[in-house]
Chains A and B, each alone.
Chain A
Amino acid sequence: MDALTLIPVALLAGAALNGIFSLASLRGRRIPEVLVALVAIAAPVVALAASLHVFGDVRQPGVGRVEVELFDWIAAGNLNIDMTLVADNLTCVMLLVITGIGSLIHIYATAYMHGDEAYPRFFACLNLFTFFMAMLVLGSSLPVLFLGWEGVGLCSYLLIGFWWKDAKNASAGMKAFVVNRIGDAGFLLGMFLLWQTAGTLEFDGLRQFAEGAGGAGAFGADSGVFGASVATLACLLLFVGATGKSAQIPLFVWLPDAMAGPTPVSALSHAATMVTAGVYLVARLAFLFSFSATALATVMVIGGATCFFAGLMAVRQNDIKKVLAYSTISQIGYMMIGVGTGWPNVGLFHVVTHAFFKAALFLGAGSVIHACHHEQDMRHMGGLVKKMPLTAIAMTLAAAAMAGVPPLAGFFSKDEVLWRAFESGTAAGRFAWVCGMLGAACTGFYMFRLIFMTFGGKYRGHGEAHEVPARMWVTQGLLALGAVGVGFLAVPHILGGHDLFGVFVNKTLPLWAAPAAHHADASTEWLLMGTSTALGLAGIFAAWLCYLRNPRIPEACARTFPRTAKLLEGKFFVDEAYEAGIVRPVEKAASGFFHRILDRGIIEGIVNGSAAAATFVARTLRHSQTGLVRAGIGLMLAAVAVLLFILLG
């Protein structure tokens, strides 16, 4: 078996083994945790080794890609889809992130989940999740990608609802499910449109079609929807899917609720890998997006707005995981800006750096929660630097990296994103740049607010906090080191670097995708870099002022600007708006709905007009179902008579 096939096979085998353990433990047999942990760790580590091997192959000059055709997946009529795995430079980057960071998180989780009654089930799901994530990036066509896309979604719901005996967790899983279905609908429609236009769903086929003689004409043709071209419509539909999976405006509401799952899950799927799938999708289809300036502008605007908006929301959260959740949404906004500029490599680089520092932060948060006896409210923490110094160092490094302190990883990646956005020269680019700058200030503030509230000051909690086991702090330490060092992979030319990462990725994503860049001069670049760094540092300073030096300032601010504070604390009431506009009607139509049937035998109060009409018709039909044999036969005879009358009349 070649290395490429080994990646999914190893992960699937791990999931299957742990699945069997899980079944066995349901039957009352005790499976030693060590065994489960070994299987759980072996799967991603083997996959990591295989990925490194594939990476080595791909890097060899003149190779560029590795491809394995496994079997015919769907062969129905003219729809023919092979299960083919492809690894090119872009895939390699994603694979290394998934398996590398995945391995560390798996190791961490074996300690974190210690003693849980469903230990094997958890790791079965986690391995399966990694498997689907690998399939997502390895797939050679949109349907295979979609298989992985749905698979990670499924595992994510299973893991969010892992502690399902609590109904709140179960309904958080449900919320993620429903919101993602909306995105999927867009994805499917976009996929279908592409198939109608190009007759293929293979990435290579699509690209050849796009580059071929009729490609530009076919994609540029009017799609018949609001005068948009086919490329614009398809890209926007696919992007709807991406906003769902990557938690962008307006479909971001599920991600903060998803924090109900165990923390390693949040680290792996809701920070490092799954939520970046939308970014990967846009990068993978960069050749398609390049046909449509509208679509690229939309990606940038949505990314920019999400970046700033979610950053603001993170500012006044008190739940440590909620802060990180909003920060994730905000950071994915940067990635979207990056891929939206037409330079996918900058967006992807932020995916990589973010994976390191966000995973480190989540694992650190998990350690803190673990140490504080499942306390998640930061107001009941504080002073932990003395109790758990190693965690504190790791988290502070990661936070500094995210805030863009030079020369840590976040500095390079964020700066590059903002530079490309500014340089693109379009209105959307400028908008995204402004949002990104403001977001940078927010990032500095909320990250160090988190650090200061958790580790600074005095301990405000109950019970005795303690340092976590070695397996946990070692993994988060490694991730923090990554957050420090990984930025040097893409040192921009202006600082004397060679942008190794960009050069590597752009072999797969040639820059013909990029709009003609009008080059701003070096001094502008210096100026921008300085400004964004300064903003980040200002945010950090403000956090220091408010939360270490003089903790009364936040309250004073809240008293002075009560409305703003309320708006921020209430996360701009987006959830409430959705609640009133969508969730409540849907709930009425779904869960609330059958209570009423049971109570009164009638459905009432379906808010939506069409739904009310549907129910009205349904009720009328129900009355026509009298249960009389004669009525049924009379209807049959009448139908025969009417049909014959129409046909022969």
Chain B
Amino acid sequence: MLHNPAIWTLLLLAAGCVTVLLFGHGTALRPGRGGAIANITLLLVLSVWWVHAFHGHGEGFDGMFLLDRMGMLAAAGSAFAGFVTTVMLTGWLRRQGRECAEVHALMLLAVAGMQVMVQTRHLAVLFLGLETMSVALYAMCAALRERRAAVESGFKYFLTGAFASALLLLAIAIIFGLTGSFHLDGAETKLAHAGELGVIALVLFLAAFGFKLSLVPFHQWAPDVYEGAPTPVTGFMATAVKLTGFMTLLRLVPALGALSQHLLLILAVLAIATMLVGNLGALVQTRVKRMLAYSSIAHAGYLLAALCVVLAAPAGSAAAEGASVALSFYLVVYVLMNLLAFGVLALNERAGDEPLLLNDLAGLRNRRPWMAAAMLAAMLSLAGIPLTGGFIAKWQVFTALLGECGGAHGTLMTVLASSVALCSVIGLAYYLRVVMTMYVEKGEDAKPLPVVPFAPMLLVMLLAGLVLWVGIVPDGLALGSEAISGFLRTLF
């Protein structure tokens, strides 16, 4: 089992976490090393994944553990998001006058939990991974516990999250009762005859995951929690949690589909509601962070639409395969562009409680041309303008949807496709508003921006470059990733 990359990364994360807790604290004279240790750990984790080049397939621990491409992609993605977040968080906390070494330890634990969650098809292990991630995130949200908003955000997340985990536990218990096992492999026939209890389990399951993925109507916590949490942590929640959550859902969908033939319809309705509420909610926000929170809800809707195609296409067909590729691609791009947007936000936030208003970004073009360009890339990509990753991602989802229009669920797919189109138009309004503020407004009376350290700025530029690179060469990420793998393997 020791040659297994997943176990290595888990051990690395655990060791890193203990190291941070033991040696990461700073003193009045010496700033803490927590962030640095966490970063090194996450880089090591990423390089383990890269050495294995996201290839390989295997199972272990009586099928409780599963190694495949999809899980590795999600695990590495969450580690990458964790890395970016830690870099941003170190500087952000310092600007707020705090150190909080434990936050970095919690970040490592959250990544570990996500990794456990995406690398299994065993419901109990999935639950455990999910809760490890959640408990770590609850505390991270409230890290600045002397602030009203932070604690409120953490507690709201905690309460709603605890409620959702109880729902999930009951759903898992019912599935266990129906099949006698937590393994979902090969349980489809049993699940297909589950009757009413099966439908109940399905709905409870969807509610719990709907909470994690902030799908409407399980979304109400999201804007509040996203707003109150430390901005880099918000970025992490908006990206890594959605990435791993959707990957898990994608893996479970065949088994869940057996529980009720109406799953597709339910998901489609949720998707439409999510895009509409997310986009409309974002339209009226003046606080940038809250706007991005709603925008991430909206994107969860697009992602769910892609999931619907996976479900609608005949299982195992090329169309279903194409749709899951489209979903994974959208997820990767989504992670990149949101990390970028939240990163820019975090770098522009001043110390203190005051939220960053849209107007604070006015004239950013003159004041910080490179920062403005990075935000421009993020906004255009989120809006799905050509030559950005967001466009290719949305285009693929759209293509997948329209490709299924002639299929068995044609009407539903057409409705979904037109909702995606309509909502993208609404989205254009608020994303371009940010662009206009940065580029057309003068911003002479805007408040001064904080000093930006070098490393986070470099990371932001890198992310912006990646977002554009994916937009121009959609296969670029895969190519680049393989190149890094090859390089690392020559080292070891």
Contact = CB atoms under 8 A, between A and B. Distances in A.
Is there direct touching of A and B in the complex, by C-beta distance under 8 Å? yes
Interface of A: 71-79, 146-147, 150-151, 154, 164-165, 167, 170-171, 174, 181, 184, 188, 192, 196, 589-591, 593-594, 597-598, 601, 603, 611, 614-615, 617-619, 621-622, 625, 627, 629, 631-633, 635-636, 638-640, 643-644, 647-648
Interface string B448-470: 00000000000000000000000
B366 A597 contact: no
Contact of A74 (B199, B357, B366, B392): B392
Given A76-B329, A618-B281, 18 more contacts: A73-B473, A77-B321, A77-B326, A79-B396, A79-B399, A154-B387, A167-B442, A590-B433, A593-B433, A594-B433, A597-B286, A598-B286, A622-B281, A629-B155, A629-B159, A629-B160, A632-B221, A636-B211
B331 interface: no
A647 B160 contact: no
Contact of B436 (A71, A174, A188, A621): A174
B interface SS class: helix
B440 interface: yes
Most buried by A among B218, B319, B326: B218
B220 A635 contact: yes
A589 B326 CA distance: 32
Q: How large is the interface on B (under 10, 10 to 19, 20 to 34, 35 or more residues)?
A: 35 or more
B37 interface: no
Interface in B173-230: 196, 199-200, 203-204, 206-207, 210-211, 217-218, 220-221, 223-224
A646 B426 CA distance: 31
B475 A644 contact: no
B330 to A, nearest CB: 11
B439 interface: yes
Contacts of B266: 643
Nearest to A79: B399
A639 B207 contact: yes
Given A77-B321, A77-B322, A629-B160, A594 B437 contact: yes
B224 A77 contact: no
A interface SS class: helix
14 contacts: A71-B475, A74-B475, A76-B474, A78-B319, A154-B387, A167-B440, A590-B433, A597-B284, A629-B155, A629-B156, A629-B221, A636-B210, A640-B167, A644-B199
B199 A147 contact: no
Nearest to B442: A167
Contact of A78 (B221, B322, B392, B472): B322
Interface string B244-274: 0000000000000000101000100000000
A493 B81 CA distance: 69
Contacts of B325: 76-77
A622 B280 CA distance: 9
Contacts of B322: 76-79
Given A77-B322, A635-B220, A636-B218, A621 B387 contact: no
A589 B260 CA distance: 43
Contacts of B283: 603, 614-615, 618
Most buried by B among A192, A619, A625: A625
Most buried by A among B207, B211, B440: B440
Nearest to B405: A196
A636 B212 CA distance: 12
Nearest to B159: A629
B87 interface: no
Given A76-B326, A614-B283, A635 B260 contact: no
B348 interface: no
A601 B284 CA distance: 9
B164 to A, nearest CB: 8
B318 interface: yes
A509 to B, nearest CB: 28
